[in-house]
């Protein structure tokens, strides 16, 4: 059936005939139908995310769901910026708001070294390599007195947390966990990842914008999993800049360095393909692209909020309207899949003088997974050199801001019924 679906129709119409939910000012809005047109050849994608409201994971999810060039097969959630249950709750809220039918799956509550979440263990690690900026869901282990309660508990029930956050019960029916398996009996992110990739071998791109625990577990569950993925796009790593968690490490890969190493050293896609030879079928949106890109223009931000989905507007107002977002790492990963030409240069190359996209190529990359001052540090090597076991990846550097904001982000966040 998967191959048949790929061949039929110039345009696939996904019609939501059931109730579609949005929340604005505390009131539910019901739409009889919302139609999303998918272009022929739309790229199948799974989003693996440590979900937050809006910027930047939530926005990345919305871009992939709403773009005619991508078919979002599902969203899998992992602990990272927030504990996994909070990511589930905020993901549900946003999918409700845009009238989506994309399934959402609960994933890993802790990293591969789960004992890092024990305060006494993490305090010993931080004595060697302290967190200088963002601790994410591990804040509850760094400072248990300040970060306590259901919002910071990786073992919480997401539906109860939803009620705490939004003062009402969730109504989104396409959310799956151990208490509510999907129609195929899958109750966890790794099951969905492995099954879906096996259903569409060579067709699915993974956009992984959180710690890579779910991805590493999928590889351990099915060692053939990476070979059946078309391409993987990460948000993670800081190769030519300092870290934003420890002094040496970017947060996503600091949160689970072992998982990052497993993923980066896997053989993704067809090893005989030209794309594998050029960049290992791995694309990285690290700290570099965000550092080299300006934030969303404030007037465009205000215009987008005025015309976005009613259910999203309260979240934007809560965030604030006085300044536009600048921390937009995850959006580059999603936007690249929608339109690869947004990337102007790769790795440590400068912005092209004529602002034209340069050909993609990779360098060998790796992650330090040895406990010490550089735990979680991402490393880039010369183009044709790298440690035994390391693989190539292409690191985004400079972005076409005009195209990114005006042709991808803004149009896809505007509600067709609220223009």
- C-alpha 202/C-alpha 198 separation (Å) is 9
| Mean pLDDT of the chain, nearest integer | 91
Q: Which of 167, 169, 117, 166 is nearest to 144 (CA)?
A: 117
Closest among 180, 178, 182 to 170, alpha carbons compared = 180
Per-residue pLDDT tens for 105-115? 999 999 999 99
Average pLDDT over every residue of 34-61: 88
Is pLDDT larger for residue 365 or for residue 17? 365
- d(CA 62, CA 58) in angstroms, rounded, equals 6
Distance CA 398, CA 106 (A): 34
The pLDDT assigned to 20 comes to 41
> Would you place residue 36 in the very low, low, confident or very high pLDDT band (cuts 50, 70, 90)?
low
Instruction: Sort 204 into a burial class: Cβ within 10 Å, 0-12 / 13-18 / 19+.
Output: buried
Q: Percent of the chain at pLDDT above 70?
A: 91
pTM: 0.92
> Length of the chain in residues, anyone?
419
Q: Is 135 a residue whose pLDDT tops 60?
A: yes
């Amino acid at each position: 059936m998967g191959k048949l679906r790929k061949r039929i129709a110039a345009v696939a119409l996904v019609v939501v005939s059931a109730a579609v939910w949005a929340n604005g000012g505390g009131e539910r809005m019901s739409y009889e139908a919302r139609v999303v047109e998918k272009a022929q050849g739309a790229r199948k994608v799974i989003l693996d995310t440590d979900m937050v409201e809006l910027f930047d994971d939530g926005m990345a999810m919305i871009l992939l769901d709403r773009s005619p060039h991508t078919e979002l097969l599902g969203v899998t959630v992992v602990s990272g910026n927030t504990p996994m249950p909070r990511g589930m709750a905020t993901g549900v809220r946003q999918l409700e708001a845009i009238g989506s039918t994309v399934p959402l799956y609960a994933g890993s509550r802790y990293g591969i070294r789960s004992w890092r979440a024990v305060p006494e263990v993490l305090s010993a690690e931080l004595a060697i390599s302290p967190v200088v900026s963002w601790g994410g869901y591990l804040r509850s282990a760094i400072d248990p007195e300040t970060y306590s309660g259901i919002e910071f508990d990786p073992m919480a029930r997401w539906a109860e947390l939803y009620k705490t956050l939004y003062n009402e019960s969730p109504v989104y029916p396409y959310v799956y966990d151990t208490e509510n398996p999907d129609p195929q009996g899958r109750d966890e992110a790794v099951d969905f990842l492995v099954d879906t990739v096996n259903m569409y071998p060579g067709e699915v791109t993974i956009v992984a914008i959180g710690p890579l625990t779910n991805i590493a577990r999928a590889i351990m569950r099915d060692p053939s999993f990476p070979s059946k993925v078309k391409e993987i796009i990460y948000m993670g790593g800081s190769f030519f800049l300092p870290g934003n968690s420890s002094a040496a490490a970017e947060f996503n890969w600091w949160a689970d360095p072992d998982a990052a190493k497993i993923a980066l050293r896997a053989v993704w896609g067809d090893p005989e393909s030209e794309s594998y030879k050029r960049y290992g079928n791995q694309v990285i949106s690290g700290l570099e692209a965000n550092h080299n890109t300006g934030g969303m223009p404030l007037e465009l931000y205000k215009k987008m909020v005025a015309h976005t989905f009613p259910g999203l507007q309260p979240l934007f107002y809560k965030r604030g309207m006085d300044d536009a977002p600048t921390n937009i790492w995850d959006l580059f990963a999603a936007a690249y899949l929608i339109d690869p030409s947004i990337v102007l240069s790769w790795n440590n190359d400068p912005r092209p003088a004529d602002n034209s996209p340069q050909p993609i190529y990779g360098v060998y990359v790796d992650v330090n997974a040895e406990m010490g001052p550089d735990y979680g540090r991402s490393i880039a090597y010369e183009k044709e050199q790298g440690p035994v076991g390391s693989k190539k990846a292409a690191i985004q550097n400079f972005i076409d801001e005009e195209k990114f904001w005006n042709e991808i982000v803004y149009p896809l966040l505007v509600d067709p019924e609220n223009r």
